[in-house]
Chain A
């Protein structure tokens, strides 16, 4: 198992290197660079100032040199400084990362608690009204973009009942309830959209597993249906479902970025969005690198979960 983890971690290195090149290049490819924006904001338009700013920010060097400087700094744990605030990127990341992590975790919990029981229910009641309703609901959640639903949740309750979701962020350790009250609405919206595919996968897998010979063996033992489902079928059915959850990790983070914006959650998403608008290169590349590492780690956790679910992987 240890060798397996080490191998997986080593495999992360080339992936990250590749990611870093793409991230580094793509933000610089967006029309309008950071110097243009700075000049526009300060209402200065002389040629000399441009060269001065570029030199001060280190943007006058060739792009490959900038890349190598950035990478070697990262390897030393230095994410660089924000081009605008001149604050260390690492410091900003340390502030925002836990918030996004919390939102993602809450969304995942919502997604799983909604998806797995509904998937099982739907499989057990195959082709009944309950099954159709459950499946239609999940399709609806898949089809409706969460930013649109987020906007509706912001607007309509306040018009109809003069109630709006709280938008004041409080750190979890200061006021857990206040924190959860704020995070819950975006977490539910994000969780529901993630639950759709997971629910359908759970249903399909459960139907597949219930057709297996070992389920017939369990029936022949005289077990009740709920024991057959929870002791004999569920773990077999969850193995592919867990894979799917790993594959959805990027979706989870992408969704968080948008919902943080709508619900004013000061997480990485909000930070990223501002940084992209301002072409704050070190912040953007820093966030993306962290996102990349997170996705790779989530998939490592998924692989380790197999070992728990499937004895064939463990031995």
Chain B
């Protein structure tokens, strides 16, 4: 299958008060057309930065220092600002983590959902509004047409995230990036929102990048998975392979720390020792080595690169065993 988006060897640095921080270090990913890629990792592992850099939304302090992002045959790193704006919201859309603060409090829902249609499809406002009404209906907002003139504060968190989804789908994008879309929501609402997102992207035959730290979500919704740690991708595989045989010690640790219904009652949950690394002072060598039960001398000095261990399964590990 042709890949719709491919990121190769992407490095991103942020200028902070404490100097430059390497947020991404040689990240490589790809998303095929119509597929869902989950990016998994702890906070600070670089998953959101990866997503934001695709659309050039890193802000003034963040900068891509190396690597390439190719979307549908176009290089997004060196693209003009004008061309990037044509792609944003039109061919690649973003769903953010915080539905509470990601909608503009002084504009009506109708205006905000209709805006990308007005902007990219050059429709008049009444036409764009009519389409916005249909979109709200598709994301199952009750009384959609009446609610176009309401403001974000009149919606619950789950409903706002539905609005964000409607906004993202407005121009039928080829790729939708959802950055922890359900983290801020009630557990009961999470599953509804994820299923809705999955079904609608399937209808449009769009690809989805789902950023999450929830392995349960990955198992249910993802086709491919990339596990990130300390600004690097440490394992890439199909969701099925990753669950069957996780190959990186970090992924293995994550899998073991999921509570299981059939586990021994009273047994302690597995935890990975230590803390996720501070990006401004990453350890030398493999950044996971201080927490890795299998670490050897080599792991403290050399960085393992992403290697094939099966045709569709890669890991970045020297592979020492117990």
- A positions within 8 Å CB-CB of B: 212-214, 216-224, 231-232, 235-236, 309-312, 315
Contacts and interface: CB of A to CB of B under 8 A. Distances in A.
Contacts of A310: 105-106
Given A216-B57, A219-B57, A222-B89, A311 B116 contact: no
Interface residues of B, number: 29
Q: Provide the main secondary structure of the chain A interface.
A: helix
Contacts of A312: 105, 151, 153
Given A311-B153, A312-B151, A315-B151, A224 B101 contact: no
Nearest to A309: B106
17 contacts: A212-B101, A213-B102, A214-B105, A216-B57, A216-B102, A217-B102, A217-B103, A217-B104, A221-B119, A222-B86, A222-B87, A223-B119, A224-B85, A231-B107, A236-B106, A311-B153, A315-B153
B88 A220 contact: yes
Interface string B264-297: 0000000000000000000000000000000000
Nearest to A215: B104
A220 B55 contact: yes
Contacts of B89: 220-223
B102 A222 contact: no
Given A214-B103, A221-B88, 14 more contacts: A214-B101, A214-B105, A220-B94, A221-B115, A221-B167, A222-B86, A222-B87, A222-B90, A222-B116, A222-B120, A223-B85, A232-B107, A235-B106, A236-B105
A4 to B, nearest CB: 18
Given A220-B57, A223-B85, A213 B96 contact: yes
A222 B57 contact: no
B104 A218 contact: yes
B132 to A, nearest CB: 13
B87 A216 contact: no
Contact of A216 (B96, B106, B116): B96
A212 B59 CA distance: 12
Nearest to A235: B106
B252 interface: no
Interface of B: 55, 57, 84-90, 93-94, 96, 98, 101-107, 115-116, 119-120, 151, 153-154, 164, 167
List the 7 shortest-distance A-B pairs measured between CB atoms, nearest first. Answer: A222-B88, A221-B89, A213-B101, A311-B151, A220-B94, A222-B89, A214-B104
A216 B93 CA distance: 12
Contacts of B167: 217, 221
A213 B97 CA distance: 10
Contacts of A217: 94, 96, 102-104, 164, 167
Contacts of A223: 85, 89, 115, 119
A113 B151 CA distance: 29
A170 to B, nearest CB: 43
Contacts of B153: 311-312, 315
B103, B104, B120 pick with most chain A CB within 10 angstroms: B104
Contacts of B119: 221-223
Contact of B105 (A219, A222, A311): A311
A221 B101 contact: no
Contacts of A231: 107
A213 B116 CA distance: 17
A68 B72 CA distance: 84
A217 B86 CA distance: 15
A213, A222, A224, A309 pick with most chain B CB within 10 angstroms: A222
Nearest to B104: A214
Nearest to A236: B106
A312 B84 CA distance: 34
B189 to A, nearest CB: 19
A219 B153 CA distance: 21
Contacts of B85: 222-224
B260 to A, nearest CB: 36
A116 to B, nearest CB: 16
Contacts of B103: 214, 217
A311 B155 CA distance: 13
A155 to B, nearest CB: 47
A214 B102 contact: yes
Contacts of A222: 84-90, 116, 119-120
Nearest to A223: B119
Contacts of B106: 235-236, 309-311
A237 to B, nearest CB: 10
A315 B103 CA distance: 18
